[in-house]
Amino acid sequence: QAHLDRIAEVDGDIHAFLHVSADALKTAAEVDGARRLGAKLSPLAGVPVAIKDVLCTQDMPSTAGSRILEGWIPPYDATVVAKLRKARLIPLGKTNMDEFAMGSSTEHSAFGPTHNPWDLERIPGGSGGGSAAAVAAFEAPLALGSDTGGSIRQPAAVTGTVGMKPTYGGVSRYGAIALASSLDQVGPVTRTVLDAALLHDVIGGHDEHDSTSLTDAWPSFADAARAGAASGSLTGVRVGVVKELGGEGFQAGVSARFAEALDLMASAGAEIVEVSAPSFRYAIAAYYLILPAEASSNLAKFDSVRFGLRVNPPGGGTVEDVMAATREVGFGPEVKRRIILGTYALSAGYYDAYYGSAQKVRTLIQRDFDSAFSRADVLVSPAAPTTAFKLGEKLEDPLAMYLNDVTTIPANLAGVPGMGLPMGLAPEDGLPTGIQIMAPAHEDARIYTVGATLE
């Protein structure tokens, strides 16, 4: 009830939610009843959780921020949502996002932007700005996001929250409306590292419905976080500072807070080493070929027949005409831009020059990670180059918007885990900054331990 009250109080200004569940109190009462009867409940039982609208929920609309899915209620739950229900968390509602998770500001939502609770004139990051804003504004204690190029970590950085992108394959993508299937991962958005670890423990693990789901046995991430918090020591931990993910183009206050975070780690006993990953310079370019290519294919299913919106052209027409009219009205400009880019990059004659080259860069990035991780246990960088910018500031300039992902994209291209967590306010504008911690694939627990040590 407290969270519903808080939503009623502030969400008119923030617009973190696209839909608030009508069943939250009923579910809460059921959990309470089970508790009274002495049922053995999971650690997060009864805790409300906000869900990014990219995740299918069979009792709530799931739009992915797009008109083309307006009002669509999926026939099944995403695996992560099913796992939340099984652990008896309380789905609180669906959060706003850039359309089909394309964006860094949540301004590409078809349903209007989300505002940053720290300053309502500013963006909450994207694409998962709704989840981050809901957590930052105390509308929800926990949220789920999805991260294809930074959509969990960058919103966390600019709202002062914690966001974790797990190892690719560590969390099921079944029922997560796909943006770029080789990059997408679902993960937690919370206010503390321990909360993220507890939520990750609930949603992670193998799922036979996702062919890329790993069969690893994962350790308890909550235990990993508790171990870090209890020891407070980073003795023996080699922290690699990635040269290419800082410096020019980074806001002065972000760089200053990052330098302080490194001092803090050194004083906790960490060995700070500089590492270089030259190919990271090409990560954005490679990403903006690979992502549109995969997205153009994934979005072909929105054809006016199978899901959501159907627009009949005046005077009728062929199936093709209906499809074209529907996609014209149903998709926003950023989605259309990427479909065109993607189909171009994949077309005969251009495939090798664009998509093929981008895949080669991806391999180089993976190799740079391997070599960096031979010298460091974790890699760090600022989680975003700047604090939250003003609404409207970058909306007309796609390239300026894409540059926000400079620090986060490499981890998606290599499939390694990464976390964004608060590192204090920038002195020049008083807005949150974030540090990113990355670890080798399968070593998510290491991030929770180091992150909890810093908190």
- Catalytic positions: 52, 127, 151
Closest CB to ligand GLN among residues 195, 334: 334
Torsion from C-alpha of 326, 331, 335, 341, nearest 10 degrees: 30
- CA-to-CA dists, residue 137 to 224, 378, 382, angstroms: 27, 30, 23
The CB-of-104 to ligand GLN minimum distance in angstroms stands at 4
> Exposed, middle or buried, 442 (CB in 10 Å: 0-12/13-18/19+)?
middle
Dist CA 15 CA 111 (whole Å): 9
Question: In degrees, to the nearest 5, what angle opens at C-alpha 151 toward C-alphas 148 and 155?
Answer: 165
Closest CB to ligand GLN among residues 7, 135: 135
The CB-of-126 to ligand GLN minimum distance in angstroms stands at 6
Closest CB to ligand GLN among residues 96, 104: 104
Would the CA dihedral through 305, 311, 313, 315 be positive or negative?
positive
Q: What's the token pair of residue 136?
A: 């930052």
Residue carrying structure tokens 């669509």 = 72
Closest CA to 384 of 394, 372, 374: 394
Q: Quick one: DSSP state of residue 282? A: G
Residue carrying structure tokens 């300053």 = 119
Closest CB to ligand GLN among residues 220, 343: 343
The CB-of-416 to ligand GLN minimum distance in angstroms stands at 15
Closest CB to ligand GLN among residues 24, 164: 164
Closest CB to ligand GLN among residues 137, 335: 335
Dist CA 429 CA 448 (whole Å): 29
The CB-of-103 to ligand GLN minimum distance in angstroms stands at 5
Torsion from C-alpha of 400, 106, 139, 153, nearest 10 degrees: -50
Q: By the 8 A CB rule, do 79 and 175 touch?
A: yes
The CB-of-444 to ligand GLN minimum distance in angstroms stands at 18
Q: What is the separation, in whole angstroms, between the first and last Cα of the chain?
A: 29
The CB-of-94 to ligand GLN minimum distance in angstroms stands at 16
Residues with Cβ within 8 Å of residue 107, at least 6 apart in sequence: 98, 113, 123, 126, 391, 392, 395
Give the residue at shortest CB distance from ligand GLN.
151
Helix (H, G, I), strand (E, B) or coil at 72: coil
**Residues at the interface with ligand GLN (CB under 6 A):** 101-104, 126-127, 147-151, 179, 291, 405
Closest CA to 132 of 113, 116, 148: 116
